[in-house]
Structure 1
Amino acid sequence: MSLEQIFVLSLLCIVFLSFFKEIYPPEVIALAATAALVATNIIDVKTFLSVFSSSAPITIAMMFILSAALERTGVLSILGEGLKKYAKGSFLRAMLFMMFGTMLASAFMNNTPVVILMTPIVISLAASINVSPSRLLIPLSFSAIFGGSLTLVGTSTNILVSTVASQTGQPVISMFEMTLPGLIFAGVGMIYMVFAGRFLLPDRVSLTGVLNHGEKRKFMARILIPTHSKYLGKKLDELPFNTQHSRILDVIRGEISLRKKLNTLKLQAGDRIVIKTDTAEILGMKEDGGVEFKDLSGQGMEPVTAEQTITMEASVGPKSHLRGKTLETINLRRNYGAYLMAVHRNDRNISDQMDEIRLQFADTLLLDGSIEGIQRLVKDGGVINLSTPQERPIRRNKARIAILTMIAVMVLSAIGIMPIAGLALIGAVVVMITRCIDPEEAFDVIDWRILFLIFGMLGLSLGMEQTGTARLIVETAVTSLGDVGPLAILAAVYILTSLLTEMISNNAVAVLIGPIVISLALQLGYDPRPFIMAVMFAASASFATPIGYQTNTFVYSAGGYKFKDFLKVGLPLNIIFAGLALFVIPAFFPF
């Protein structure tokens, strides 16, 4: 074994460990690994730049735009409206129609945006049939995974595996090549959820459920302590209006928030108190005379107002500008007139020391503030509203264009008129030119993190190929496996890919495992196709943990789940799919 191979193998182990430990975001880890290979001249710069000619990233980016066009033109909203109509108060009917509709949509759209857009609809649906959202959100994520396995464009993983296959000299995967076996997997998954999975689904309480006690309508008031106030020098717990029916959210002195010192501060003239209370308390404060509700002219202060507020449950989306920031740097109060009441992350609610928390993708937030301010926060893309479906201008008159464009991309790709990358590019341009989606919005919906994860992992794959590390791994596997037969190797490939997918990014697993598996099959004299399909299906079939797949991660916090909930519902499904793969994949793709 050469020094270069030892270095690449060590780097590979570090990458896997870093993915698992979540030391840095996966795209940073992948790029760092490639940077290490370039810095040590294991791959030169010219070779590294060749990864940018890969068809996978451009195809995935254009499919994000096409998916967003379908959403913007109301295709998904029609699905949501139909769910309540056909549920008729029945949990089983609601789950079946929701899963079938989501699966259908996910076959033609990237499944992560489908789940993000469907989540508030499903939460509303759960309320209409009087069940906890946690009874429907895991089925939502699982059905999106089922649908993503039906076509080449259902998930970025499928496109990536097809690209890996073509780069190793294998035929690209066609648009509907996996559809028939995918339907069998999806059908078995639906049957499992109806007859077994639904009885394992937990009843969890979301953040709004924890803090919603059916109180009277509350208002957020900003009141002034004037120079003649009888409350000068008083602590907050000495104020007569600081009762169990009211909640003091902040005290603002000049331009400084004293939220962290509420327990000890003494009031001064000019202090602004932000309090959430009901109408009767506000009227009582006005009569009391110790505070004022009118603005002081000429002092440059913000107007003192009392406005109706809302408490809203929201989630940090994959494109949110809040990701990685603390509350102190975001300044929700100043920018949006909103306050963060609690954060839900990794099956626990956080309400203390929130100013020090760096927000992450899929964190569920309980926000309290003015209706206008919170609406602006949602519109700016800071959070995704989970309390109600987001209201945006739907361009229904453009829906036909978006649908026909997507159909044309899929059909023309299936009959081989042009590679999917070219068709997706043309399709994305069509929906932008016809204003199905505005160009500014179109480029915002692209998840650049996924693209750079792919670039980084492709660079690592190049390093493995050039140094012979991939061949070394294959030869070691061949020696250890011996003559066990193709079915046993298929089982090993599926199980290994599935296990790794539950722990780290499914796209990263596909790029790393794909070339090794193809080389292994060729070395043993088997057709690589069934093994390629095993990687593709297994890399998407992540049910047992909330961290292996983005759709699981998103509903994890939104549903208030615990880690064990996914294990309880999803592990049996993982085992069923692994056993099913041994019969289904060879039936459609012989060795």
Structure 2
Amino acid sequence: MTFDQFLVFLLLGLVILGFVKEIYPPELTALAASAVLLAVGILDTREFLGVFSNSAPITIAMMFIISAALERTGVLQILGDVLHRHSRGSYLRAVFIMMLFAITASAFMNNTPVVVLLAPVMIAVAASLGTTPSKFLIPLSYAAIFGGTITLIGTSTNILMSGIATKAGLEPIGMFEMSGPGLIFAVAGLVYMLFAVRYLLPERQSMAGLLSQGGSRRFMARLLIPSGSRYVGKTLADLPFTGAGTRILDVLRGELSLRHRLDDLTLMGGDRIVVKTGTGEILALKENGQIEFRDVADQGFEPVAADQTLMLEASVGPNSHLIGRSLSALNLRRTYGVYVMAVHRQDRNISDEIDHLRLQFADTLLLEGPAEGLQRLAEDEGLINLSAPQERAIRRHKAPIAIATIAGVMLLAAFGVMPIEGLAVIGAVIVMMTRCIDPVDAFESVDWRILFLIYGMLGFGIGLEKTGSVQLIVDSVMTLIGHAPPIVILAVVYCLTSALTEVVSNNAVAVLVGPIAIALAQQLGLDPRPFIMAVMFAASASFATPIGYQTNTFVYSAGGYRFRDFLVVGVPLNVLFAIISVLVIPIFFPF
């Protein structure tokens, strides 16, 4: 092993560790790996810039735009409305219809918006059936993954693997080339999930159910302590609140929030107290002469008001402006009149010391505030309302254009009229030019983090190949299993990819394992196609953990799941898919 190979393997281990630990965002970790290779001279600048000519990332970006147009024109909402109407009464029927919808939609568009749109619908269906959202959201995520394996554009991994095959001098993957085994995977997964939802899925309480207070209507009141009040110099415990349901949320002194000093705070004239309480407490306070309820704007204070408040759960969306920012820097109280009561991340609820917590994709927030403020916050900051299906400003009259565009892209690519890369660009331009979606919204819909993750890993992949590290891995594998039957080697490739994708991004795994699988097949004198398909299916088939696939991450928090819930449901499904892949892929793609 040369020094360069040792350095690349060391870096590979650090990259995988970085993906698992998430010390930095995955896209930054990937770019950092390429940057190290540039810095030590393994990659030169021209070689790295060559990754930006790869067709896969631009195709993925254009498909994000077309998917967003389908959402904006109401195509997905129509499906959601139909699902909501036909899912009442029977739990199993509701799960079956939901999964069928998700599989169908995800075969033709990016699966993340499918899950984001249908999650609130299924939470509402769960409430109508008297069960918890946790009985629906894992099946929803898995169904979206099933659908993504049916067509080339079903998931970004498929498009990326087509680019890797082309780079290796092979034919690009056709639009419906993987549809045969993909449909078998989808049917098998659907049948398995109908068993799993009855016997394996847990009932988990949502965050709102755990932390909200039941009972009569509550109001969020803003109370002013006048300078002559007898409560000046007193503590909050001295205030005349008698109701058991009363909660003091904040004390505002000028523009300063004192919510972290409530236990030992001494009140001053001009302090404004934000309190959640019932109607009776509001009326009692109104009769108390020591707390102002009149307009005192001439003294420089805001008028006191009381608004009926709502409590809702909202998830941080994939394109939210809140990602990476702390709650203390957002000042949601001043801008929207909304308070964050708790944050659910992974399998824990965080209700203390949350102001300095930096938000991540799929964090679920428990929000409380007036309805108007909550709605504006969700719209402005890219939050997904999990408490109810969302009403969107949609352009239904443009839906035929969006549907015709995605159908045209798929059919023309299938018949080889033009490569998918060119068709995707044309399709994205059509939906923007016809105002199916505004250009600003279109470009916001592109998940640039995925693209830069791919660029970073493509650069690292060049380093693996240039130093001979790929060939070293292939030679090592040949030594171990080179004389085994092709079907055994296929199983090893599938299982390796499947194991990696549970802890590392599916796109990163495809970039790492794809070239190795192709080189291994060529060295054995076998057709690389079945091995490409094994990597493609395995990289998407992430069921055993909530961190390997974006849709799993989203439902992890939204459904209140624990890590073990994915293991219980997902590990048997991984084993089932591994068996099916070994048996089915060679039938469609002989060695």
Q: TM-score, normalized by length of structure 2?
A: 0.98
Code of the residue aligned with 2:170 in structure 1: it is Q
Give the Cα separation in 1 of the matches to 2:433 and 2:497.
40
1:282-297 matches, within 5 Å, as 282-297=282-297
Q: CA deviation at 1:301?
A: 3.4
**Secondary structure class of the residue paired with 1:590:** coil
Code of the residue aligned with 1:441 in structure 2: it is D
Give the Cα separation in 1 of the matches to 2:48 and 2:242.
63
Find out whether 1:512 has 2:512 as its counterpart: yes
Give the Cα separation in 1 of the matches to 2:448 and 2:562.
29
**Secondary structure class of the residue paired with 2:355:** helix
| 1:424 aligned residue | 424
* Stretch of structure 1 that moved more, 498-507 or 289-298: 289-298
Code of the residue aligned with 1:44 in structure 2: it is D
**Secondary structure class of the residue paired with 2:29:** helix
1:404-483 matches, within 5 Å, as 404-483=404-483
| 2:315 aligned residue | 315
**Secondary structure class of the residue paired with 2:576:** helix
| 2:544 aligned residue | 544
Decide whether the 8 Å contact of 1:132 with 1:203 is kept in 2: yes
Give the Cα separation in 1 of the matches to 2:293 and 2:173.
67
1:38-117 matches, within 5 Å, as 38-117=38-117
Q: CA deviation at 1:115?
A: 0.6
Give the Cα separation in 1 of the matches to 2:243 and 2:31.
54
**Secondary structure class of the residue paired with 2:341:** strand
Code of the residue aligned with 1:322 in structure 2: it is L
Decide whether the 8 Å contact of 1:70 with 1:399 is kept in 2: yes
Give the Cα separation in 1 of the matches to 2:211 and 2:354.
17
Q: CA deviation at 1:84?
A: 2.4
Q: CA deviation at 1:371?
A: 1.4
Give the Cα separation in 1 of the matches to 2:34 and 2:588.
36
1:577-588 matches, within 5 Å, as 577-588=577-588
Q: CA deviation at 1:374?
A: 1.3
| 2:229 aligned residue | 229
Find out whether 1:181 has 2:181 as its counterpart: yes
Decide whether the 8 Å contact of 1:345 with 1:364 is kept in 2: yes
Give the Cα separation in 1 of the matches to 2:428 and 2:291.
58
Code of the residue aligned with 2:334 in structure 1: it is R
Where in structure 1 are there 5+ consecutive unaligned residues?
none
Give the Cα separation in 2 of the matches to 1:586 and 1:296.
79
Q: 1:297 to 1:86 in 2, by over 3 A?
A: closer
1:36-435 matches, within 5 Å, as 36-241=36-241, 243-435=243-435
Q: CA deviation at 1:79?
A: 1.1
Q: CA deviation at 1:197?
A: 4.4
Q: CA deviation at 1:214?
A: 2.8
Q: CA deviation at 1:317?
A: 1.5
**Secondary structure class of the residue paired with 1:313:** strand
Give the Cα separation in 2 of the matches to 1:247 and 1:293.
19
**Secondary structure class of the residue paired with 2:99:** helix
Find out whether 1:11 has 2:14 as its counterpart: no
Give the Cα separation in 1 of the matches to 2:302 and 2:364.
30
**Secondary structure class of the residue paired with 1:355:** coil
Decide whether the 8 Å contact of 1:219 with 1:307 is kept in 2: yes
Give the Cα separation in 2 of the matches to 1:409 and 1:303.
58
Give the Cα separation in 2 of the matches to 1:290 and 1:150.
68
Code of the residue aligned with 2:411 in structure 1: it is V
Q: CA deviation at 1:195?
A: 2.6
Report how many residues are paired: 591
Q: CA deviation at 1:17?
A: 1.4
Cα deviation per residue 1:405-462 (whole Å; 9 max; x = unaligned)?
Answer: 0000000011111111111111111111111111111111100000000000000011
Code of the residue aligned with 1:20 in structure 2: it is V
Code of the residue aligned with 2:421 in structure 1: it is A
Give the Cα separation in 2 of the matches to 1:86 and 1:327.
39
Code of the residue aligned with 2:512 in structure 1: it is L
| 1:30 aligned residue | 30
Give the Cα separation in 1 of the matches to 2:94 and 2:319.
30
Decide whether the 8 Å contact of 1:109 with 1:154 is kept in 2: yes
Give the Cα separation in 1 of the matches to 2:196 and 2:220.
46
Code of the residue aligned with 1:270 in structure 2: it is G
Code of the residue aligned with 2:133 in structure 1: it is P
* Stretch of structure 1 that moved more, 212-221 or 101-110: 212-221
**Secondary structure class of the residue paired with 1:286:** helix
Kindly report structure 1 stretches of 4+ aligned residues shifted beyond 2 Å.
195-198, 211-214, 297-304
Code of the residue aligned with 1:31 in structure 2: it is L
Cα deviation per residue 1:446-479 (whole Å; 9 max; x = unaligned)?
Answer: 0000000000000001111111111111111111
Give the Cα separation in 2 of the matches to 1:171 and 1:586.
18
**Secondary structure class of the residue paired with 2:365:** strand
Give the Cα separation in 1 of the matches to 2:244 and 2:327.
26
Decide whether the 8 Å contact of 1:121 with 1:389 is kept in 2: yes
| Percent of residue pairs identical | 63
| 2:565 aligned residue | 565
Code of the residue aligned with 2:333 in structure 1: it is R
Q: CA deviation at 1:514?
A: 0.2
Q: CA deviation at 1:230?
A: 2.0
Q: CA deviation at 1:14?
A: 1.2
Code of the residue aligned with 1:443 in structure 2: it is F
Code of the residue aligned with 1:110 in structure 2: it is N
Q: 1:348 to 1:199 in 2, by over 3 A?
A: same
Give the Cα separation in 2 of the matches to 1:560 and 1:312.
14
Cα deviation per residue 1:27-64 (whole Å; 9 max; x = unaligned)?
Answer: 00100000011111211111111100111111111111
Q: CA deviation at 1:242?
A: 5.6
Give the Cα separation in 2 of the matches to 1:174 and 1:260.
58
Give the Cα separation in 2 of the matches to 1:208 and 1:297.
36
Q: TM-score, normalized by length of structure 1?
A: 0.98
Decide whether the 8 Å contact of 1:344 with 1:364 is kept in 2: yes
Decide whether the 8 Å contact of 1:83 with 1:125 is kept in 2: no
Code of the residue aligned with 1:426 in structure 2: it is I
Decide whether the 8 Å contact of 2:543 with 2:574 is kept in 1: yes
Decide whether the 8 Å contact of 2:313 with 2:366 is kept in 1: yes
Give the Cα separation in 2 of the matches to 1:37 and 1:211.
49
Decide whether the 8 Å contact of 1:310 with 1:371 is kept in 2: yes
**Secondary structure class of the residue paired with 1:153:** helix
* Stretch of structure 1 that moved more, 18-27 or 535-544: 18-27
Give the Cα separation in 2 of the matches to 1:560 and 1:588.
40
Decide whether the 8 Å contact of 1:242 with 1:248 is kept in 2: no
* Alignment root-mean-square deviation, CA: 1.1
Code of the residue aligned with 1:439 in structure 2: it is P
**Secondary structure class of the residue paired with 1:108:** coil
Q: CA deviation at 1:397?
A: 0.4
Decide whether the 8 Å contact of 1:204 with 1:561 is kept in 2: yes
